[in-house]
Structure 1
Amino acid sequence: MRVVFLLIPRLHLLDLSGPAQVFSTADDLGFPYELRYCAEQEDIVSAQGVRLRAETAWPGAGPEDLVMVPGWRSPTLKGGPRPGRGLLARLVAHHAAGGTVASVCSGADVLGQAGLLDGRRCTTHHDLRDELAARYPRARVERDVVYVADGRVVTSAGIASGIDLALHLVAERHGPAAAARVARDMVVYARRSGEESQDSAMLRHRWHLRDAVHRAQDRIDANYAEPLRLTDLARAGGVSERTLTRQFVESTGMTPLRYQQTLRLERAEHLIGHGATVEAAAHAVGFADARMLRRLRSRVMEDTPFAPSHGATTSPRIDV
C-alpha cells in the first residue's frame, strides 16, 4: 500500500510524523507500506521550523492507496493555505477511482476545498470545528470525536489524533491484532476508537493554576484504580484536607472523589468500547463489582458536585 502525504506550508510535524511512524512501523513488522511525500514546491518549512524536501511530481496512487493531508499552523482555516486546482483535482480523481483520502487537524480544510466533505461526516481540531462547519455547510461536522470515516474520506481531530487515525487504517487493512502490534511497538498507551471524546477528563480539568490541586490530580491520575485517602492527597498537595477539598472544587468543579470516579468511568468506557464486558471493565478500573459502574453509566453526572461534610473528623477514602 502506498501512502502519499501532501505537505502544506507550515504543517505541524506531529500531524505528519505520527501517521508516518505508524505506517513505517507497520512496514517494519511485515505489513508492506511505501511512504511518499509530495507538495507544490520542493522545500516546505514546517510550523516548528524544520525544513522538508518533497516531490513535486505526483507519485501516482491507485485505488488501494491512501492520500493523507496533515494539518498546519493557523489560528483560522480562512487564513490557511490554498492549494492549486491541479492538486485538488488529483485528490478528487484519486477518491473517484476508489482510493482513500484522509486528513489530520486543519488538513480537513483541503478536503473541503476539493468538495470531498460534502454530504459526509467529518471532524477536525476542537478549536476549528465550528469554522469548518460554517465554511462547508454541506458537511456534517462531528463535534467531539477522535476521527470519522465516511465513504473512504477519513478525518481526524488535532495533532496526536493522526496516530489514532493511522492505527485505525492499519486495523481496517490488516486486522486489529496488527494495529495492536504497531501501537505496542510505538509505546502508544491506548488505541482510541473514533467515537471517543477529543477531550479527556485528565485534560479537561487542568486549566486552573492551583499547584496543590495539580499535585493531587497527578496522584489520582496515576492511581485512579486504587483506594486513595484524602489525607494522602492533601499531603501530596502540601495543604490540609479541608483546603485541598475547597481548592479542588473551585478549580475543577468537582470533589476529589468525583474526579476519581470520572477517570474510572472514562477508562471503563474505553475498555467496553474495545470489547470488554461491564464486569471486566469495572474490576480493571478499581470498582469492587459492576453495580457502581452501571449506576455511573446510567445517570448523568450532577452539574454541581456534593460538598464534603465539614464535621467529619476521619479521613474518608477517595474510593467507591
Structure 2
Amino acid sequence: MTRVVFLLLPRLHLLDLAGPAQVFSTAADFGCGYELSYVGEQEDVPTAQGLPIRAEAAWPELDPGDLVVVPGWRGPTFRDSPRLSRESASRLAAHHAAGGTVASVCAGADALGRAGLLDGRRCTTHHGLQDELARRYPKATVVRNVLFVVDDRVVTSAGIASGIDLALHLIAVRHGPGTAARVAREMVVYTRRNGDERQAGALRHRSHLSDVVHRVQDLIDSRFTEPLPLDGLATASGVSPRTLTRVFGEATGMTPLRYQQTLRVERAEHLIGRGATVESAARAVGFQDARMLRRLRSRTSGIRPVPAEDPA
C-alpha cells in the first residue's frame, strides 16, 4: 500500500488538491494500492473557494515509496504565502532525504523551497509566479512555461489543472502508461500530457490504452528532431516493425513517422508564432530545409504553402 499525503495550507485551491487526489483515488479503485491522507497546520483549513476542509494534525508514518503533495494556494505573490511551520518543513525534507518523493502544485513550490528542496534542482510553478520563485530561490533553476518538472524525486507543476498531469505522470512511472491512460479515461481528461509544453498539440493522440504505443510516443516526443527509423522504434518497444505499425495505427490513426512529423510541424508553428522564419523553424525541428515543412503545413493545417523565396 502506497500512502499519498497531502499537506494542506490555508487558502489552498480546491482543484490543486482535488485533481491529484482524484487521480490517486481512481488508481486505487483500479487496484493500484493507494491510501490518501490529509494533514495540516490546523484541523480546519480554509480554502480559496470558501469551502473549509478538515485535516489531521498528526503526520502518518511514511516509507520511501510514499508520496507527499503540497497543493497551491491563493495569493498574488509568495509574500502572501501561508505560514509553514518548522515541523512541516522538516517533514518534507526528511521524507525526501529518506528516499521519498515530494511534489507540489502551483504555489506549493514555495513550501518545497522553504524546506530546502529546490536548491540545485530544476523546478516550475504557475506562470504568474515564475519570476518571483526564481528571485526567492536563486539556487534553483526555474523552468518556464512547462506543465511539470521532475528532478531527483522533487516534482513541481504549474497552476491548478496541471496537478492532474503531474499525478498521471507519477501513475505512469509506477504502474505503466496504460494504467495512467485508463485513469485519465475514467476521469474524462486528456491522458499523459507531457511536462514540456512543446508536445501539448499532440494530446489528441494520447487517449488510447496501449503501453507499447505510449512508450514509442514517449521516445518520439523526446527525440522528434532526430531521424527515428521504424526498425529502431520497434526494437526499443520490443515488437516487430510490422506489429508496431499496426498497433500504432490502431491507437492513433497514423504511422509513427506521421506522428513525428505532426510534432515537428506543431513545434515549428510555435517557433514561427514567436517570430522565427520558416527556414530557421524547419531546421530547428529536424528538417533539412523548409520545403518539407511547407508541404506538411499545407497538408495538416490548411495553410497555403509559403513560396520558397518568401523569408517569412
TM-score (norm 1): 0.68
Q: Indicate the SS of the match to 1:106.
A: helix
Aligned to 1:184: 185
Q: Name the counterpart of 2:302.
A: 319
Match of 1:267 in 2: 202
Q: How far has the Cα of 1:40 moved from its partner? A: 1.1
Residue of structure 1 in register with 2:135 after alignment: 134
| Cross-structure match for 1:242 | none
Q: How far apart are residue 269 of structure 1 and its match?
A: 10
Root-mean-square deviation (CA, aligned residues, Å) is: 3.4
In the TM superposition, residue 189 of structure 1 has moved relative to its aligned partner by 2.5
User: Which residues of structure 2 form unaligned runs of 5+?
Assistant: 207-215, 225-244, 277-298, 304-312
Superimposed CA distance per residue, residues 161-210 of structure 1 (whole angstroms, 9 cap, x where no aligned partner):
00000011111111111111111111113420112259x7xxxxxxxxxx
Secondary structure, aligned partner of 1:6: strand
Looking at CA atoms only, which structure, 1 or 2, has the larger radius of gyration?
Answer: 1
The residue type paired with residue 202 of structure 2 is R
Aligned residues: 244
| Moved beyond 2 Å, runs of 4+ | 266-285, 288-300, 302-305
For residues 39 and 144 of structure 1, do their structure 2 counterparts lie closer, same or farther at Cα, with a shift above 3 Å needed? same
User: Alignment identity in percent?
Assistant: 61
The more displaced of 183-192 and 139-148 is: 183-192
* Equivalent in the alignment of 2:33: 32
Alignment map for 1:95-134 (pairs within 5 Å): 95-134=96-135
The alpha-carbon deviation at position 301 of structure 1 amounts to 1.1
Residues 197, 144 of structure 1: alpha-carbon distance in 2 compared, 3 angstrom cutoff: farther
Q: Which residue of 1 aligns with 2:240?
A: none
DSSP 3-state at the match of 1:78 = helix
Alpha-carbon offset, residue 295 of structure 1? 6.2
Partner deviation per Cα, 1:193-247 (whole Å, 9 max, x = no partner): 112259x7xxxxxxxxxxxxxxxxxxxxxxxxxxxxxxxxxxxxxxxxxxxxxxx
More helix by share: 2
Which AA in structure 2 matches 1:18? G
CA contact (8 A) 1:282 1:290 kept: no
Q: Partner of 1:74: helix, strand, or coil?
A: coil
Deviations 1:104-147 (A, max 9, x none): 00000000001000000000000001100000000011011111
Q: Which residue of 2 aligns with 1:256?
A: none
Quick check: 1:145 aligned with 2:128? no
Residue 62 in 1 paired to residue 63 in 2?
yes
- In 2: Cα distance, 1:298 partner to 1:123 partner: 24
Structure 1 pair 291–55 and aligned structure 2 pair: CA distance change class (3 A): closer
- List alignment gaps of at least 5 residues for structure 1: 201-265, 306-316
Residue in structure 1 matched with residue 310 of structure 2 by the alignment: none
Q: CA deviation at 1:81?
A: 1.0
User: CA–CA distance in 2 between the matches of 1:49 and 1:182?
Assistant: 29
Contact 2:40 2:55 in 1 (8 A): yes
Conservation of the 8 A alpha-carbon contact between 2:205 and 2:252: no
From 272, 275, 284, give the equivalent of 1:301. 272
